[in-house]
Amino acid sequence: MTENRRRQSRYQREGVDRIKIGPKKKIALVCSGGASKAGAFHLGVALALQEQGFRFYGGTIPRDGEKARPPGPMEISTYVGSSAGSMIASLLTAGYSLDNIFNSFLGRTPDENSDLTPKPLERLTYQKMFRLRPALAREQLSELFKLRGMFKSLLEGKLEALLQLRWLKATGLFSTGGIEEYLRESVLPSNRFQDYMADLFIVATQLNHSRKVVFGKYSYQPPPHDLTCQYNNDVTISEACAGSTALPVIYSPYLIKNSAGVSDYYIDGEIRDTLSTHVAVDAGADLVIASYSHQPYHFTPEVGSLTQYGLPPMLIQSLFLVIEQKINNHIYNKEIQRNAIMAVSKYCRQQGMGDDVRMRICEILEAELHHKLSVDTIYIHPKPTDTQMFFGENFTLSPTKLAEIVKSGFRAAIDVLRNYDFDDRVKSDAAMASTAAGAEQAAGASGLGAELSSIKKAAGE
């Protein structure tokens, strides 16, 4: 059971209709990986957040000496991304409007009413997403003698020669160099983390050192719960995204050289840690919204057993089960830590301790347990019954298929967010109406606008 469900059930038992979230100083959005399918899901979540009164703080720092405006209430100003989530986080940090991103994802030609801030977003193509590696053929040619030996062993009935995979020398079929080039040349107004108003953090994994690296504008000390984690402010955004999206087997590890001339290979940012919500907390966020698309299949009579669909769905199910367990363990441990601190605080009150002593004891517990009571985390993921999301193509760029995934993200987010009451929520009906109109217009391709209208009506919006 996720933290959202635990808290919802607890509040329902107490007769409270909505979970109250008090005023917040800093709001963060954490986006997981999962290829283009996850990217579209995050966009649906972003649309739902916008419908609920949230705004996205982004754009470059003014260059004319004018001071950048601070983020306002309900304005997300910290973005954390891994793998595909790093690209969505980068777009929002750069100030791209949801209209603009939807036009690009859905292959639409912008009309005169579209918000094209900061510039029309160029569409990502398969050629850029899947750039063949020139070294691929050379790597395998060097292993021809092993292939001869393998075939000889197979003829002798020794199947282990095939299963050991020693003949497979290739480090990956494709390179994320095309993604790096796309971001650097076509997307980002600036390729420096330091040039943006919002805080952007991109998570990657060092291949040869088993270390999580968080790229951004700051150079924090390693968090107490993971002393091997490193913060790095010495690379460009496009390189960080290329390293974070380098999913093993599909993509080869991405080589990044820092300003000191030291080079390291990086792979997918979720290998070590599926949801790096701690990065947002380390940056001072006290409301963290985590969006992830890894939802295992739950049996339905209409779909039946995964054994009917071959090996790929079973492999995905196995992977998602492992990821779900990691996420649930993380959420469960956080809930235990929160309950322990609250229990000690309650005991101190019962024993008549002064508030200063009680608060100091709680502060010590927070530091030792690496848990802050002031931080609220909202987790958004596909519904277990959303089989279309599970079976959806992970690397699709089809506008029609991406539109369906956007709907899944919107539905999942609305289903969670309607259980919360935010003190900072913008009350202006005019602002909300304007937001809704822009969102529907941006999602108009493939009948998406009409579908979102029906979703909002069902959700009570």
DSSP annotation of 75 reads E
Question: What is the pLDDT at residue 198?
Answer: 96
Query: 447 by DSSP, 3-state: which?
Result: helix
How far is 440 from 64, CA to CA, in rounded Å?
Answer: 35
3-state helix, strand, coil in the chain (%, to 5): 45, 15, 40
How large is the average pLDDT for residues 443-451?
A: 46
Taking Cα atoms as reference points, which of 461, 376, 460 lies closest to residue 19? 376
How large is the average pLDDT for residues 239-246?
A: 95
pLDDT digits (tens, 9 = 90+) for 63-104: 877 888 899 999 999 999 999 999 999 999 999 999 899 888
Residue 428's pLDDT band, with cuts at 50, 70 and 90, is very low
How far is 394 from 402, CA to CA, in rounded Å?
Answer: 10
User: Is the confidence at residue 452, as pLDDT, over 60?
Assistant: no
Question: What is the pLDDT at residue 108?
Answer: 79
Taking Cα atoms as reference points, which of 296, 282, 289, 283 lies closest to residue 326? 296
**What proportion of the chain, given as a percentage, has pLDDT over 70?**
80
User: Is the confidence at residue 279, as pLDDT, over 60?
Assistant: yes
How far is 191 from 189, CA to CA, in rounded Å?
Answer: 7
How large is the average pLDDT for residues 410-437?
A: 70
User: Is the confidence at residue 370, as pLDDT, over 90?
Assistant: no
pLDDT digits (tens, 9 = 90+) for 394-418: 899 998 899 899 999 999 999 999 9
User: Is the confidence at residue 158, as pLDDT, over 70?
Assistant: no
User: Is the confidence at residue 162, as pLDDT, over 70?
Assistant: no
Mean pLDDT of the residues in the chain: 83
User: Is the confidence at residue 364, as pLDDT, over 90?
Assistant: yes
Question: What is the pLDDT at residue 133?
Answer: 76
How large is the average pLDDT for residues 260-273?
A: 87
User: Is the confidence at residue 23, as pLDDT, over 60?
Assistant: yes
How far is 1 from 18, CA to CA, in rounded Å?
Answer: 19
**What proportion of the chain, given as a percentage, has pLDDT over 90?**
55
Higher pLDDT, 10 or 227: 227
Higher pLDDT, 241 or 142: 241
Residue 166's pLDDT band, with cuts at 50, 70 and 90, is low
Strands (E), 345-438: 376-380, 420-422
Token representation of residue 24: 């917040």
How large is the average pLDDT for residues 201-230?
A: 90
Question: What is the pLDDT at residue 427?
Answer: 42
How many whole angstroms from its chain centre is CA 455? 23
Give the Cα-Cα-Cα angle 94, 99, 104 (nearest 5 degrees). Answer: 80
DSSP annotation of 330 reads H
User: Is the confidence at residue 437, as pLDDT, over 90?
Assistant: no
User: Is the confidence at residue 262, as pLDDT, over 90?
Assistant: no
How large is the average pLDDT for residues 106-133?
A: 82
pLDDT digits (tens, 9 = 90+) for 137-149: 565 555 555 555 5
Q: C-alpha distances in angstroms, 199 versus 77, 217, 316?
A: 6, 7, 32
Question: What is the pLDDT at residue 136?
Answer: 61
How large is the average pLDDT for residues 13-40?
A: 84
User: Is the confidence at residue 271, as pLDDT, over 60?
Assistant: yes
> Would strands 263-267 and 199-206 be described as parallel, antiparallel, or unpaired?
antiparallel
pTM: 0.85
Please state which of the ranges 63-77, 155-169, 316-330, 426-440 shows the lowest mean pLDDT: 426-440
